[in-house]
Amino acid sequence: MALYNDTVMDHFMNPHNVGEIENPSGKGIYGSPVCGDMMQVTIDVDENDVITDAKFKTFGCGSAIASSSMATDMIIGMTVEEALDVSNKKIVEELGGLPAVKIHCSVLAEHAIKNAIYDYAQKSGKTYAALEGYNPTEDSEEDDHHDIPAEE
């Protein structure tokens, strides 16, 4: 039995939406190489608040890269409100499941997208209910799955 299902492997080996949008509407980064995964998302949003394009760059394992690819696929064509509703659970569902120990990798994509939208909201002066009280850096530092000591 393979580590990942065919959908995950396909998104890992041939990821969609790789790269970086120049002068994006919003840019978000989440994670760090010390934690073992890090993702950057850039998005373009049109005047109707629809995400017209999304690109990612990810440092991470197979499921982190596959989640990044799937998540960016999912949000392209969505309104910002809809994209804010894309949870890691939905990403995992679309991927047809991840090994239990790898579920956290999909959180990376959810957070990076949220951070990109937060950046867009800041720049455009828009407000979204889902972003109320949201601090883009807080979770990054205190993520419970990233409790690896910096020194031993």
Partner 1 sequence: MREVYLDYSATTPVKQEVVSEMIPYYTEAFGNPSSLYGPGLKAKEGLTQARQQVADLIGAKENEIFFTSCGTEADNWVLEGVADQLRDKGNHIITTKIEHHAIIHTCMYLQKYHGIEVTYLDVDEEGFVSPEDLEAAITDKTILVSIMMINNEIGTLEPIKELAAVAKKHGVLFHTDAVQALGNVPIDVKDLDVDFLSMSAHKIYGPKGIGALYKRKGIMLPNFVHGGAQENRKRAGTENTAGIVGFGKAAELARTGLAEHMAHSRQMRQYLWDQIQDKIEDVRLNGPADFDRRHPGNLNVSFRYIEGESIMLMLDGGGICVSTGSACSSGSLDISHVLAAINVPMTIINGTVRFTVGDFTTKEDIDYTVEVLQKVVDTLRKLSPITGKEGW
Helices (H), 42-149: 62-75, 80-84, 88-94, 103-124, 138-141
Q: Does 60 bind partner 1 (CB under 8 A)?
A: yes
Q: Does 6 bind partner 1 (CB under 8 A)?
A: no
Q: Which of 33, 48, 125, 127 touches partner 1 (CB under 8 A)?
A: 33
Q: Among residues 132 and 151, whose Cβ is nearest to partner 1? A: 151
Q: Which of 21, 43, 45, 65 touches partner 1 (CB under 8 A)?
A: 65
Among the residue ranges 11-19, 76-84, 115-123, 134-142, the one whose residues contact partner 1 (CB under 8 A): 11-19
Both tokens assigned to 112: 């990076």
CB of 69 to partner 1, least distance (A): 10
78 CB-contact burial (10 Å; exposed 0-12 / middle 13-18 / buried 19+): middle
Q: Which of 6, 127, 129, 148 touches partner 1 (CB under 8 A)?
A: 148
Number of residues this chain uses to bind partner 1 (CB under 8 A)? 31
CB of 127 to partner 1, least distance (A): 28
| Amino acid code (one letter) for 2 | A
| Amino acid code (one letter) for 96 | G
Give the C-alpha separation, 143 to 58, whole Å: 18
Q: With left for phi above 0 and alpha for psi between -120 and 50, is residue 86 left, alpha or beta?
A: beta
User: Which listed residue (105, 113, 121, 131) is catalytic?
Assistant: 105
* Whole-number CA gyration radius for the chain: 15
Among the residue ranges 43-51, 60-68, 81-89, 132-140, the one whose residues contact partner 1 (CB under 8 A): 60-68
Instruction: Look up 61 and say whether it is catalytic.
Output: no
Please, are residues 16 and 72 in contact by the beta-carbon 8 Å criterion? yes
Write out the catalytic residue numbers: 35, 105
